[in-house]
Amino acid sequence: MAEILLSLTIIGVVAAITLPSLTGNINERTWNTQRKALYARFSQAIALMPALNGYGTTAEDATETFITAGLSKVLKINNICDSEHLSDCGLASKIINASASTMSLPKTTSGIQNANFNANGLSYPELTAAAFETANGESVLAFYNRECQAQDVLASNGYRTTQSKVCVNFVYDLNGSKGPNTFGKDIGIITAFYPSDSVVVAPYPHLRGGELEVTFAQANSACKNFDSEYRAPNLEEMMSLLYNGQLVGTGHQRYWTSARIDSQNAWIVSLTGNFFPRSVGSSIDSEGIANAVRCVKR
């Protein structure tokens, strides 16, 4: 009997140790599958819209109008909520960002952007959020810019700005307010750029040390050293990460993208939202500012 009790005790201890890890792995796989499916549905829906700009009349009513008059025509939506009733669409009032800090669910862009993102002298509207629930049960927070602009021609070496290129930014929760309400788990981001020929991205950044001071040539290999599934972000992915600075967290002022201009230069994005060329061999600018990479998952 003593031997049986000892065996059961050992089995119980092993189960207590391994079960949380096993449950976590199952949740991770489930979230990854849902995340990819949601991105596919949003990409298809955005592609069906004639244009992404022009909905609504002010920054206060534009997001809700975009959802009701535009997005709902191409995406199955069960419920739409204005900025004062976001919880009615299944969104939690508090979420955990990539830095493991608890933050309130943002109702305007100032609550989701890094403080420096809109501090470069641009006239950029303070966008009011609205929310909706999809037919598949996801809860989605949206910030819509009715004045978004077309993609710049990237052949010249001048500065460009991110803010005017963002048409709509989505923060989704795959299972509503059930939890864990944590970025990188059930919470993620999708951003659509440019009113026509839109580019839709859903960057999934490395959450544990995925920022490195490197040259452009080192960026991809440095990311793959974390995990073979990680790489340097493209231009729109990096702009999306900085737009969502409060959720994603940022430790550097400038970040490489995977977008080359020519053999000597590639596009880099700053914390203020500008993107501009930098020499591919430089890890420190002439101003003494480090060029870093923020790794994203494939």
- pLDDT confidence of 120, banded at 50, 70, 90? low
- Which tokens in the block code for residue 24? 């976590």
Separation between Cα atoms, residue 118 and residue 169, nearest integer Å: 15
Instruction: Give residue 76's domain range.
Output: 21-200
Answer yes or no: is 9 within a domain: no
Answer yes or no: is 127 within a domain: yes
Separation between Cα atoms, residue 41 and residue 33, nearest integer Å: 13
pLDDT at 282: 81
pLDDT at 3: 63
Strand order through the sheet with 265-270: 160-161, 274-279, 265-270, 254-260, 291-294, 211-213
Q: How many domains does the chain have?
A: 2
Output 221 or 153, whichever has higher pLDDT: 221
Separation between Cα atoms, residue 111 and residue 191, nearest integer Å: 16
Separation between Cα atoms, residue 105 and residue 92, nearest integer Å: 7
Do both 33 and 174 map to the same domain? yes
pLDDT digits (tens, 9 = 90+) for 52-88: 999 998 888 999 999 999 999 999 999 999 999 999 9
Greatest Cα pair distance, the chain, in angstroms, is 81
Separation between Cα atoms, residue 214 and residue 232, nearest integer Å: 11
pTM of the model: 0.88
Do both 215 and 193 map to the same domain? no
Answer yes or no: is 4 within a domain: no
Place of tokens 């020519």: 262
Query: C-alpha dihedral over 39, 21, 249, 133, to 10 degrees?
Result: 40
Overall average pLDDT of the 247-263 stretch: 89
Answer yes or no: is 155 within a domain: yes
231 pairs with which residues across the strands?
A: 296
